[in-house]
Copies of this chain bind each other. A is one copy, B any other.
């Protein structure tokens, strides 16, 4: 759908609605939270009743954006009053978690994920956009919304986090242009960046230290592997989410072509996370051979072997592709 056509439909739907529920996806990130908040503040500015429905603990990284007036925790018995439902940054209906029960009737789906399943009555998916924040910015401008410093902060967080701070390959011309507009509202870039990019919990920091301690190098340090046994991280109070970034440690080492984290989970299954820094190794091939998935540069699988055998087999699989 054309952007302008969508914007007209959107505007009409909003005018008709008496009350709106806005839906970020589960495991909320900066883009879904910043985008839904910006939209909520727009509805406030035109005196349209709305609320953002969430169902999980608010992520600690973004707690500075939490406000009681904007968010409500989903309650099946309570939340059946809206006559318009808008999801943002949510690729498929299951990413709405329990709230998918409420997402019915007049529904709008605004997203930038190529894999979006168009599950709503009205769907606007622009996968050329860096982030949902970029789409919401263009929508608010198109709707004649007067941006405020508050909205600028939300959109900046949305766009900057989804592009990894303007570092990922989805970083585009438009998101730099939008950033140059948002910064005019005197938003504190260094303070925001510190909060969203640089702050780690004590537990995460100690887990990173342990990961470095467990680093092993193979094939002239072209392959770096972190081997994590359960007993090594249990005492660190690490949760599953904290393991997400650990692969960056071996991946970011100079000269490393393949990085791996092999981890014994709480249920004793052995999980393998892989990254390739070079086209010579396609880690998705290794993952597919082990009934896993992914793409050339990032893939993973669950191993049926113990830690040591998993490592040995993995090194063998990598060696076949190393030049």
Residues of A at the B interface (CB closer than 8 Å) are 60, 160, 164-169, 171-174, 176-177, 179-180, 183-184, 188-190, 193-194, 197-202, 205-206, 208-209, 211-213, 215, 217, 221, 248-249, 252-255, 277
Contacts and interface: CB of A to CB of B under 8 A. Distances in A.
Given A60-B254, A208-B212, A202 B180 contact: no
Contacts of A184: 173
Contacts of A171: 183, 189-190
A285 B218 CA distance: 48
Given A167-B197, A254-B60, A249 B173 contact: no
A127 to B, nearest CB: 17
Contacts of A190: 167-169, 171
Contact of A212 (B60, B212, B253): B212
A215 B205 contact: yes
Total copies of the chain: 2
Contacts of A248: 198
Contacts of A199: 252-254
A167 B165 contact: yes
Contacts of A202: 217, 221, 253-255
A194 B248 CA distance: 11
7 contacts: A60-B254, A166-B189, A176-B179, A198-B248, A199-B253, A212-B212, A213-B213
B180 A176 contact: yes
Contacts of A212: 205-206, 208-209, 212
Nearest to A196: B167
Given A171-B189, A183-B171, A189-B171, A254 B176 contact: no
A200 B169 contact: no
A189 B169 contact: yes
Contacts of A167: 165, 189-190, 193-194, 197-198
A274 to B, nearest CB: 17
Q: What are the 5 tightest A-B residue pairs by CB atom distance, in nearest-first order?
A: A209-B212, A176-B180, A167-B193, A169-B190, A176-B179
Contacts of A166: 160, 165-166, 179, 189, 193
Given A205-B212, A213-B213, A252 B173 contact: no
